[in-house]
């Protein structure tokens, strides 16, 4: 039995576990490195401890000081627990969409949490990083961790995660797979493994589908903690200094659906409860393993536990309401009403005025009652969209009515004159929908608005169900 002399000593030295069930039929050995075994429950404990120790060494953080960071959760939890142990105040700025469990955890460790709207351009003062920086600048004795650019973040993995993998596989690791948030985990670990293996270990970045790291459009996604989003109004796509892209040999792009369903499979088939980005990394590792022969050993990082996501990825109601359903649309569900599951919807740039939006829809020949969604402008006029990027729904008829009732309103932003709509997942039973007059229902397929249904379509079905 390992005895630790302090909580901080219980960070690192996580187990490698061979995936026997998920790896069945695959030629290489696939091992998961269980980072949720760190004392704070995630891979980020390593970076948090390393960054705080470096700040102390550099004289940036002293007794009575305050640790500040903008973080989607796990880094904050790591910083909060290390700060609690060492007697520092911890203040965390977190995106409003962060899982409720993580926010409660932060508060449990005594951190002060400020929730911040999470989808504004990097230059906006309200951006998470800018809010945290402004707070640190205004607070005497405060130190801003800046995990994205802090060299002590990847360094944590170069001195611990990498050597542990090398030691525990007796130097047999041939492929290393990890998701990328700040890039600290993949860069530090890869740097060590490349060096130890004379460059032969292959490094695979598992990237959420819309992330710009792997070539995506920067759009919003569901898995928290990995990938790189980009607000369309951002002038530059700035990648973290912690991420050394030269160390990555390949990117595997993994959809939200594949990440979530892989995490669920791991729980049900392997008995391993893992989070969303673990699902991303595991999906990539399993795909990679299909290509490899017996001589290979794949190690995949499992950044955190599924316990953080019991109310989302592991909740059947959440899964149904967001449209992440494994099977074909069943009879009696909203999905069965969509002509084509990935049909897509009309999209308009969110800044358009009432008259410009009406003109554009008319130019496209969109029927008067067909809804369109005002969304962050990613240069698409048709397709699926994450609901977080949508500001309003309109139709040619609703826009015309605005202009008729008040001609001056024609020059106002169309987003101020949206029609109400509700969001339902493709798996939602039609009988479960509240059918109010004029109600527009936006249907989520795999978490993105991919179609709409209106009351006239639903009424006969709902009646026949009851």
Question: CB 101 → ligand PLP: shortest distance, Å?
Answer: 12
Closest alpha carbon to 246 in 297, 300, 205: 205
**What is the three-class DSSP state of 144?**
strand
Question: CB 197 → ligand PLP: shortest distance, Å?
Answer: 21
Closest alpha carbon to 341 in 448, 245, 429: 448
Question: CB 26 → ligand PLP: shortest distance, Å?
Answer: 23
Question: CB 107 → ligand PLP: shortest distance, Å?
Answer: 17
Comparison of 185 and 452: residue with beta carbon closer to ligand PLP:
185
Number of CB atoms found within 10 A of residue 258's CB: 23
Comparison of 187 and 297: residue with beta carbon closer to ligand PLP:
187
d(CA 254, CA 208): 5
List residues near ligand PLP by CB under 6 A: 42-44, 72, 74-75, 179-186, 225-226, 275, 277, 303-304
Comparison of 244 and 377: residue with beta carbon closer to ligand PLP:
244
Question: CB 286 → ligand PLP: shortest distance, Å?
Answer: 17
* Residue 194: active-site member: no
Comparison of 219 and 276: residue with beta carbon closer to ligand PLP:
276
> If you ran DSSP here, which 8-state letter would residue 41 be given?
S
DSSP labels, 408-456: GGGGSBGGGGPBPEEEEETTSBGGGS---TT-EEEEEETTEEEEEEEHH
Sign of CA dihedral 145, 240, 73, 13: negative
> If you ran DSSP here, which 8-state letter would residue 1 be given?
-
Comparison of 304 and 360: residue with beta carbon closer to ligand PLP:
304
Comparison of 157 and 231: residue with beta carbon closer to ligand PLP:
157
Question: CB 75 → ligand PLP: shortest distance, Å?
Answer: 5
Question: Per DSSP, what are the bridge partners of residue 300?
Answer: 32, 177
Check if the beta carbon of residue 175 is closer than 8 Å to that of residue 296: yes
Closest alpha carbon to 242 in 178, 158, 147: 147
Task: State both tokens at 288.
Answer: 């990679």
Comparison of 180 and 415: residue with beta carbon closer to ligand PLP:
180
d(CA 421, CA 441): 5
Check if the beta carbon of residue 248 is closer than 8 Å to that of residue 203: yes
d(CA 15, CA 332): 46
Comparison of 50 and 72: residue with beta carbon closer to ligand PLP:
72
CA 159 to chain centre: 27
Q: Which one is catalytic: 44, 102, 194, 257?
A: 44
**What is the three-class DSSP state of 73?**
coil
> If you ran DSSP here, which 8-state letter would residue 334 be given?
G
Given strand 372-375, what is the order of strands in its sheet?
A: 382-383, 345-349, 372-375, 390-394
**Mind telling me the catalytic residues?**
44
């Amino acid at each position: 039995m390992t005895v630790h002399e302090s909580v901080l000593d219980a960070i690192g030295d996580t187990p490698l576990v061979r995936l026997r069930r998920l790896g069945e039929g695959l030629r290489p050995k696939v091992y998961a490195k269980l980072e949720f075994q760190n004392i704070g429950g995630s891979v980020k404990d390593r970076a948090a401890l390393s960054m705080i120790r470096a700040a102390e060494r550099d004289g940036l953080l002293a007794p009575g000081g305050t640790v500040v960071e903008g973080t989607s959760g796990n880094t904050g939890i790591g910083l909060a627990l290390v700060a609690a142990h060492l007697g520092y105040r911890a203040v965390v700025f977190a995106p409003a969409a962060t899982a409720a469990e993580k926010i409660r955890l932060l508060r449990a460790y005594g951190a002060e949490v400020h929730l911040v709207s999470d989808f504004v351009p990097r230059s906006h003062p309200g951006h998470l990083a800018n809010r945290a920086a402004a707070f640190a600048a205004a607070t005497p004795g405060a130190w801003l961790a800046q995990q994205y650019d802090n060299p002590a973040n990847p360094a944590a993995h170069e001195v611990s995660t990498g050597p542990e993998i090398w030691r525990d596989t007796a130097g047999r690791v041939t492929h290393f797979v990890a998701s990328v948030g700040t890039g600290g985990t993949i860069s530090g670990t890869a740097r060590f493994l490349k060096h130890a293996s004379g460059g032969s270990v292959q490094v695979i970045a598992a990237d959420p589908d819309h992330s710009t790291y792997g070539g995506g459009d920067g759009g919003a996604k569901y898995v928290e903690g990995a990938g790189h989003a980009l607000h369309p109004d951002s002038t530059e796509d700035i990648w973290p200094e912690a991420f050394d892209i030269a160390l990555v040999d390949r990117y595997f792009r993994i959809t939200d659906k594949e990440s979530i369903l892989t995490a669920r499979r791991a729980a049900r088939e392997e008995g391993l409860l893992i989070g969303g980005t673990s699902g991303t990394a595991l999906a990539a590792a399993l795909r990679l393993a299909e290509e490899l022969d017996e001589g290979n050993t794949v190690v995949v990082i499992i950044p955190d536990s599924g316990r953080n996501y019991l109310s989302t990825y592991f909740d059947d109601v959440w899964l149904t309401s967001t449209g992440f359903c494994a099977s074909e649309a069943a009879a009696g569900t909203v999905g069965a009403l969509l002509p084509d599951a990935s049909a897509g919807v009309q999209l308009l740039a969110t800044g358009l005025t009432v008259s410009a939006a009406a003109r554009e829809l008319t130019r496209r020949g969109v029927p008067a009652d067909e809804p369109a969604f005002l969304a962050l402008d990613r240069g698409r006029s048709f397709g699926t969209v994450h609901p977080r990027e949508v500001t309003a729904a309109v139709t040619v008829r609703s826009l015309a009515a605005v202009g008729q009732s008040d001609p001056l309103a024609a020059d106002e932003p169309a987003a101020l004159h949206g029609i109400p709509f509700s969001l339902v997942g493709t798996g939602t039973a039609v009988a479960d929908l509240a059918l109010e007059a004029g109600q527009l229902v936006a249907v989520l397929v795999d978490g993105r608005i991919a179609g709409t249904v209106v009351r006239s379509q639903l009424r006969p079905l709902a009646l026949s169900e009851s």
